[in-house]
Amino acid sequence: MDLNNKEPYMPENLKKLPLSELRQMWAEAWNLQPPPRIGRSMLEKSLIFKRQNALTREQEARLGLLIKQYKRNPKYFDDSGLLKPGTRLIRNWQGLRHSVLVKSDGFEYQERIYTSLSQLANDITGSRWNGHLFFGLRKTS
């Protein structure tokens, strides 16, 4: 079933279906059999909800990639919640104050977007640094 096709999920179309067909549609959409006592109204509402909250193919692909990364290394996302867009990182280095704004597409520093905190720290210091360590987001071991 194509969840991106809106037509079958229109409330007026769902109301026209026999209950057995509605239950089959629900089973296909959710990949499990509907509870035996679930009523018609709940089946219809659930199908409409499923349609409205269906992922695009791109989102499904991205989610699949993230799941694979997590399965390979469950600690892969440990720092992901730490830096939210809008967060400002401040670091004093050799008498200068360096301010970095976390953005959804990277890190903004002096009107330039960096995709890596390490590259940004390297540009500030002129030497190789772990960006999380430089900005105090990770302690030395």
pLDDT digits (tens, 9 = 90+) for 77-121: 665 456 788 999 999 999 999 999 999 889 999 999 999 999 999
Q: Is the pLDDT of residue 2 over 50?
A: no
Domains of the chain, residue spans: 7-72, 88-134
Cα gap 63→44, rounded to integer Å: 27
18: left (phi over 0), alpha (psi -120 to 50) or beta: beta
Written as one letter, the residue type at 24 is Q
pLDDT digits (tens, 9 = 90+) for 12-49: 889 889 999 999 999 998 889 998 888 999 999 989 88
